[in-house]
A and B are shown apart, each in its own frame.
Chain A
Amino acid sequence: MALRKIEQRKKRISFTILSIISVLWIIPVMWVISTSFKTEQEAVSGGINLIPNDFTLDSYRFIFNDTNNNILHYIKNSLIAASSHTLLYLLIASLAAYGYAIVRWKFRDVMFWFLISTMMIPNVMNLIPLYSIMIQFGWLDKLQALVVPGLGGVFGIFLLRQFFLGIPKDLIESARIDGASHIQIYLRIVLPLAKPALIVVGLFSFMGNWNDYLWPLIVLNGDTYRTLPIGLALMQGNYNIYYSRLMAATVVSIVPVLAMFMVAQRFFIRGITMTGIKN
């Protein structure tokens, strides 16, 4: 009973603190949303009112009706690119992380830290050789250019490795003694236990690909595979910033990933306690 009361008190204190902080935290975002529903004149006038004086859907209508830029087509392209990239990356990165965390082999740590070190050097000039490789592979203006190069990313491997390291060694050992192959351990023990980590990596990977702007800009030429960030940038003039439309564009580009995040939260459940799992 006493434990319950402590729990309740904790929740109330936490709720209070979080409420205060989050109100301040969300104000700039509220400005974005509210400006997207204002008329351009009101948006330009720079008033600080969060509720539009003249509520309008004009900016959203502009975005979705622009004949030069088919927004729904771009959203579709971004979804396809980001989803394929994410699924493939989860597969490749989790396999590699398993190899760097669980399996014991000779060059394991050397290789791993080599990977990490290459991540440390800012790649200033990498656009040029990457573009050249795209030409040689014939991937210019194709979907592969958006999906494949990023699969070499190291962050997911790093993160998953750290999570895999936390899996109790005796769990793995006893499975090995029982004759399980690494693939079986990977599929039946490690992956299920690492679900929250996989969700996190999947989320970040999706976000990274979804928001990628410069690389698709360079490697795509036409409209066929054009992604959302580029499409939205094309709607903006160079000097005359239409604030309302700009904010509406921002909202449009955030909503899919935010929705994904809210759904993904379901998987942040308290992990099955690592002790006492029988296979």
Chain B
Amino acid sequence: MNVAVRHATAAQRLKVVDCDIHPVYRTTAELHPFMAAHWREHMATFGPHFRHGLTGQLPFPRMMAAGMRVDSFPQDGPPGSDLDLMRKQHLDANGVECGMLIALSRGGMEERNLEFGAALSSAINDWQLECWVRKEPRLRAAIVVPQENAEFAVAEIERRAGDPAFVQIMISPRSSDPLGHRRYWPIYAAAERCGKPLALHVAGYSGGHPSTGSGWPTYYIQEHYAMSTGMQNTLSSLVFEGVLERFPKLKIVMIEGGFAWLPALCWRMDKHWERMRAETPHLKRRPSEYVREHFWFTTQPIEEPENPEHLADIMSWVGWDRLMFSTDYPHWDFDDPKQAFKFRLTEQQKAMIFRDNARAFYGLP
């Protein structure tokens, strides 16, 4: 079959909600219209202030093309900065009927100067609206917040709470304290009040702690893996600190952290909590019950066991209703919706994972 026809037919057959797309600005000048003059000045002089040793680059460099799909570079600008290319190469080609933007660049999650972080967050949120969502009806935004200061974060959430273009509140799980800690609770209160879920997605080296609980690793393969162990630690914190007991309406999606680790972690949490439960009297239910009610997971990067049927086991243990498809476009470990699963899914499972779970989670019309 002709290649172009094959793509179009596949796109027609498959309609997906993509829960992880990364928009990027060509240059920081794109943020200028959304920032006060003195903050533009600050950005040009003192610049971003992160918890690692380099400016403008990561201390664990990525692999090919700085971690981007080699085929996703527009004529000018970095991957993810060109809406037309994103449409052509991804939204249209892959039948994306709705895409959730996760804006990682220079948001408030990582910034140590908290007032500057608040200004950046607000600018990124305006930028998402003006440069992306208003121009492309298939896209939705996430509220970026300066998460290490709960007061500033709540203010930004409340500023955006009424705008349906923002479907969730983005928090980096790589925080300065585990996310279950009380100092973040005002953020969860605000999320619960405005009825928007939390989206946990790693951003840089935001919190400043080593990537593992045993010090800093050496190679990118280890850094990449830390996304999943860190997400496990975060989930554990949210459960054991009683966040889900205190905020029973809160919904949380864990993005790009994997999901195959979930059954074993729930088994482990349950087993050891059972014996040590006197330590956490505020928990009224077992850990896995809180997880079952409050957590969803995006699928990328999908696991690739030697026997593909093993992945089906994991997915049924996690729950077919808990998984939401994502691509991570334009990053290198992209999952193509037509190719992501190497075992046969039923039509119902496909519909749930590629669309219906996300439609329910986000309340899409």
Q: Do A and B bind each other?
A: no
